[in-house]
Amino acid sequence: MSTGSVEVVYRGIFQKTLAKNICRGIVFAAKNEGKIGIAFGRYSDSPERNGIPAKQFAVVADTEEEMEEHLSRYEPDNNDVTIAADDTLCKGVECWAWYGLQPINKLLKEGGTLLIPSTRSVNHLIGEIHRKGMPYNLAIVKGTASFSGLWVYKDDHTDVRLLGALAKVAPHIVSLDSILATIDDRLKATSAKKAYDLVESVSVGANQGNDEVPFEFEMPGWTEMEEGLVIRGIAGQQEVPGRDGGYVPTRNPTFKKFSTRTMRPVVNFDTCTQCKICWLQCPDSCFDITPDGFYDANMEACCGCGVCEAVCPVSQCITMVNEEAFTDNDSQWELWIEDKESYSGWLSEKISEPPARSHGFHHVGQYAEEIANEPS
Amino acid sequence: MNPPKTATAKKVNVAAARAPRGGSEELISGSEAVAHAVRLADVDVITAYPIRPYDTVMQYVSQLIADGEFDCEYIVAESEHSQFEIVKHASAVGARVFCGSSGVGWLYAFEALAVTAGLRLPMVAMVGNRALDDPGAFGVEHNDALAVRDLGWMLAWVATAQEALDTALIAYRVAEDKRVFLPCAISCDGAFLTHSQAIVNVPGQDMVDGFLPPYDRAEKQLHPDNPITIAPQANEDWVMEIRRQSDMAARRARDVIIEAYDDFNAQFGRGGEPFIERYMMEDAEVALVGMGTLAMPVKVAVRKMREQGKKVGFVRVRWFRPFPTIELQEALSGVQAVGVIDRDYSFGSSFFSGVLANDLRSALYPMVNRPGIVSFIAGLGGREVSTDNVIDITNKVLDAASGGDIDDQDTYWIGVRE
Ligand code: SF4
Ligand code: SF4
């Protein structure tokens, strides 16, 4: 069969246009081969929210009947290729409440290819990606994730590079020639061709990878749900686990949202003045109050918006760092309280390479400064 | 035939009805009667926005407040949409509410109406039935209230001012029952009922208090001491379950309505049978079916036909939602043919009938010996349905019953100029 489907998992807002361009590119290329294609965004997604994992699909078929078979399910669940447009998505995706954490390779077929733009090593990524009961391939296009805004698109060739790489890993869906035939710009065509040549693919064995069991939920039946669309508030609060005191608010247990994060705040407790501003301004009430009065961003809840870094009045007290630099959601304050010296080393290491922010601003007033400094 | 399984038809002991007790006899219009019911139900929040003929209720309620006979939050909104939104929210915090409208005003509130039912808020509303605005038309048609028939609203049609008052009290009792928690609209034919006065027994407060308990939203009340969220975003992973819950509430409403009429009859010595009124049906060979005030000319015509020895009866549908499937199957099981008179239309529907005829056809379809159903459209835009019109209708039904030319797969327009 010379047809199939491609799933593009992307970050809401930042990669909305990128995902659309990739899927449209596949359909146009398929058309060049006399096949029929359909590109669509999953309707339940809310791709107008910063960073939320969302999906686009492209389906290519030889006949209408074959196309109907692909489209007769809610989302294609046996994909030839899954493209994770941002490598932090390898930790799993949670798209809305009660969705659970879905492994990035969940909808990939046996022997299919997971295609990722990344600067990380194969082993690093396999260590993050949840195990799958069947073998598949992991292909990497060297590069960092391309992030844009809601109204603007950063035309940095990521779309054509991924299309070029796709032609290499799944030539039965679209060939390089038909991809190239859709690209007018000569430089972009070169980028596509280069990615085709340079994409690296390794095979991942059945049950190789992250052995964490992703959280999931069983949805209640209609007789178990409260009538009248009533959702009970969650009562109470807790102390910091294993400690005497502190304040941990109760949070929505069915929507953790941390898979929305492309970067996370790292806090320097040695310079923190306990001014509370981060705690007040965090839109998701992520800060737990520690027994000694610090504010500890809870990584099970933080969606990585970056507001805390921008509002913290102490220079470099909060620094946003790319999510790929972390392997767990452990409490930073616990690390610090247990061994302040080694925390200090850990902190400097995390913030050493100037971390590129995927979105937002380092500090209040940055936008005005940038505008003022722009050459007229 | 397989009757729906949720409820069994239960007969109210109308024979036990005694003379009306307590209260006073007043000469009032249908709208005033509803205003008195609102006062007696001690409604907390009322919103108003004028549209004829509903606005007469607003006027009488404000009069009662001005006269010091009634105390409530009376809010004049800037549109029907806001009017219904305000009471929708008031109902969520535990206030007993009243609202209403007519014709396109009711439709302008449609978004709020749909969500009120979806959120299971027991609003009681009065619809002064009005044509859907061929410019300025304000005569009666039933399409306005019928527009919400699929959304979870319970719908009652009344024929007299007394019935308007009584049904409003029953509506609060049924809507606010925890097994139901669905809104209820009482339809009063514009002009014929809203604007004509009749002697009405207005019951005393203690009588009403004995029938209608206070509105208790209990654990669903939106209140700082009861932290809940109402109406979070619901996508396809929740919507079917939510609809299924509303479906079950609409099924349970049947039993609750029957209970309410039982108690109403016991308490007030009137109220009649729930769901339908039967007139001369005992030995009827053909039957007419209709809703609202056209009961008057129909009853007169039925008596005239009876004088000629024609065994004609009449069934007036009092509750359109939940639809009285069991009662109608039972009431019409012995007749040879049925004539349905719709004061509404459903353009392009099966047999180009009205809404009532279509629902009745589906209700009777499972019957083994189902009667033929001839559909009539009459009285649109407030046009008179005369006794002669009804006699004409009845003769057509008799013709259909005896295998004449009248076609039970067609719809006849009565009183339209040729
Ligand atoms: S980045 Fe900071 S402000 Fe944003 S959700 Fe995380 S902790 Fe809260
Ligand atoms: S805003 Fe900065 S200084 Fe203030 S409490 Fe938060 S981390 Fe500490």
> What does the pLDDT look like over A344-355, one tens digit per residue?
999 999 998 766
Instruction: Summarize the confidence of residues B225-245 as an average pLDDT.
Output: 93
- Above 70 in pLDDT, residue A38? yes
Q: In this structure, are residues B123 and B87 in contact, taking their beta carbons and an 8 Å threshold? A: yes
Specify the pLDDT at position B118: 94
pLDDT in tens, A80-118: 999 999 999 999 999 999 999 999 999 999 999 999 999
| Structural contact between residues A18 and A148, judged by C-beta atoms closer than 8 angstroms | yes
pLDDT at A326: 94
Q: Give the contacts of B228 (CB within 8 A, at least 6 positions apart).
A: A230, A231, A232, A233, B220, B222
Rounded Cα–Cα distance for residues B234 and B1 (Å): 38
Q: Report the predicted TM-score, pTM, of the whole model to 2 decimal places.
A: 0.90
Average pLDDT for residues B197-223, to the nearest whole number? 96
Token code pair at residue A154: 């950063």
Residues of B with Cβ-Cβ distance to A229 under 8 angstroms: 118-120, 230-232, 234, 242
Which residues of chain A does CATH 3.30.70.20 include? 258-352
Range of lowest pLDDT (A247-251, A316-320, A357-361, B135-139):
A357-361
Whole-number pLDDT of residue A354: 62
Categorize the per-residue pLDDT at B2 as very low, low, confident or very high, splitting at 50, 70 and 90.
Answer: very low
B319 vs B257: CA distance, rounded Å: 10
User: Which residues on B lie below 8 Å from A219 (Cβ)?
Assistant: 237
All CATH 3.40.920.10 domain ranges in chain A, comma separated: 3-204
Mean pLDDT of B113-130: 97
Give long-range contacts, CB 8 A cutoff, 24+ apart: A203-208: A203/A135, A203/A136, A203/A137, A203/A138, A204/A114, A204/A126, A204/A129, A204/A132, A204/A135, A204/A136, A204/A137, A204/A138, A205/A135, A206/A132, A206/A133, A206/A134, A206/A135, A207/A131, A207/A132, A207/A133, A208/A126, A208/A131
The mean pLDDT of chain A is: 94
pLDDT digits (tens, 9 = 90+) for B55-111: 999 999 999 999 999 999 999 999 999 999 999 999 999 999 999 999 999 999 999
> From atom 6 of ligand 2, which residue's Cα is the shortest distance away?
A278
Atom of ligand 1 nearest to the CA of A307: 3
Distance, CA of B23 to CA of B176 (rounded, Å):
24
Strand ranges for B175-285 from DSSP E: 184-189, 197-202, 228-230, 276-279
pLDDT bucket at A72, cuts 50 / 70 / 90 = confident
Distance from the A97 Cα atom to the nearest Cα atom in chain B, whole angstroms: 10
Q: Check if A222 contacts B (Cβ < 8 Å).
A: yes
Per-residue confidence (pLDDT) for residue B164, from 0 to 100: 98
B11 has pLDDT over 50: no
Q: Does B239 touch chain A (CB under 8 A)?
A: no
Measure in Å the smallest separation between the Cα of B227 and chain A Cα atoms.
Answer: 5
Distance CA A224, CA A218 (A): 12
Over residues B395-414, the pLDDT tens digits come to: 999 999 999 998 888 999 99
| Domain A258-352, architecture per CATH | 2-Layer Sandwich (3.30)
The reply to whether B241 touches chain A by the CB within 8 Å rule is yes
Q: Does A98 touch chain B (CB under 8 A)?
A: yes
Q: Looking at the CA of residue A268, tell me the nearest atom of ligand 2.
A: 7
Of B378, B377, B371, which Cα lies nearest the Cα of B401?
B371
Instruction: Answer whether the bond into residue B53 is a cis peptide, omega within 30°.
Output: yes
Q: Which helix (H) or strand (E) holds A41?
A: strand A36-41
For ligand 2, atom 3, name the residue with the nearest CA: A272
CA-wise closest residue to A57 among A155, A67, A88, A203: A67
Q: Does B93 touch chain A (CB under 8 A)?
A: no
Closest residue CA from atom 4 of ligand 1: A305
| CA–CA dist A190, A157 (Å, integer) | 10
Whether the CB-CB separation of B118 and B152 falls below 8 Å is answered with: yes
pLDDT for B155 beyond 80: yes
B118 interfaces chain A, CB cutoff of 8 Å: yes
**pLDDT over 70 for what percent of chain B?**
95
Q: Which CATH class is domain A3-204?
A: alpha beta
* pLDDT given for residue A374 in this prediction: 85
Of A167, A125, A197, A134, the closest CA to residue A26 belongs to: A167
* SS3 assignment, position A149: coil
Average pLDDT rounded to a whole number, residues B194-219: 95
Contact B232 A229 (CB under 8 A): yes
Q: What is the pLDDT of residue A6?
A: 97
Q: What is the DSSP string of B167-197?
A: HHHHHHHHHTSTTT---EEEEEETTTTTS-E
| Tokens read off for B13 | 């002991």
Instruction: Return the C-alpha torsion angle A194, A195, A197, A201, nearest 10.
Output: 160
Burial of residue B149, with CB atoms counted within 10 A of its CB: 0-12 exposed, 13-18 middle, 19 or more buried? middle
- Looking from the CA of residue A263, the nearest atom of ligand 1 is 1
The pLDDT of residue B139 is above 60: yes
The answer to whether the CB atoms of A235 and B220 lie below 8 A apart is: no
Q: Are B55 and B220 in contact (CB under 8 A)?
A: no
In angstroms, the first-to-last Cα distance of chain B is: 41
Instruction: Check residue A46 and give its pLDDT.
Output: 87
Q: In angstroms, what is the span from residue B321 Cα to ligand 1's centroid?
A: 50
Q: What one-letter code names the amino acid at B163? A: E
- B271 φψ region: left (φ > 0), alpha (ψ -120 to 50), beta (else): left
Q: What is the predicted pLDDT for the residue at B244?
A: 98
Chain B nearest-CA distance from A75, in A, is 13
A230-234, B1-5, B200-204: the lowest-pLDDT one: B1-5
Distance CA A297, CA A274 (A): 13
Domains, chain B: 24-268 (3.40.50.970), 276-413 (3.40.50.920)
Residue environment code for B44-58, b if the CB has 16+ CB neighbours within 10 A, otherwise e: bbbbbbebbbbbbbb
Report pLDDT for B235: 86
Check B230 against A233: CB less than 8 A apart: no
pLDDT at A364: 86
| pLDDT at residue B22 in the model | 59
Q: Cite the DSSP H helix spans in B74-134.
A: 80-92, 103-108, 110-118
- Identify the closest residue of chain B to A96 by CA–CA distance: B235
What backbone phi and psi angles, to 5 degrees, belong to B318?
Answer: -95, -30
Which atom of ligand 1 is nearest the CA belonging to A287? 7
Chain A partners within 8 Å of B244 (Cβ): 222
Quick: pLDDT tens for A41-59: 998 888 889 999 999 999 9
- Rg of the Cα trace of chain B? 21
Rounded CA gap, B266 and B251, in Å? Answer: 24
Residue from the list B230, B238, B241 with its beta carbon closest to the beta carbon of A228: B230
More confident residue, A7 or B191: A7
Mean pLDDT, chain B, rounded, equals 93
Residue A301 pLDDT = 95
Report whether the peptide linkage leading into residue A135 is cis, meaning its omega lies within 30 degrees of zero: no
pLDDT at B16: 39
Question: Cα–Cα distance between A127 and A362 in angstroms, integer?
Answer: 30
Distance CA A314, CA A115 (A): 40
Looking at this protein, which amino acid is placed at residue B358? N
- Looking at residue B319, the DSSP 8-state letter turns out to be E
pLDDT number for residue B109 = 98
* Among the ranges given (A345-354, B3-12, B17-26, B236-245), the one the predictor scored with the smallest mean pLDDT: B3-12
List of chain B residues whose C-beta atoms are within 8 Å of the C-beta of residue A49: none
pLDDT at A248: 93
Task: State if residue A301 touches ligand 1 by the CB under 6 angstroms criterion.
Answer: no
B96: nearest Cα among B199, B168, B152, B188: B168
Q: Which residue matches tokens 């009666």?
A: B140
Q: pLDDT value at position A355? A: 66
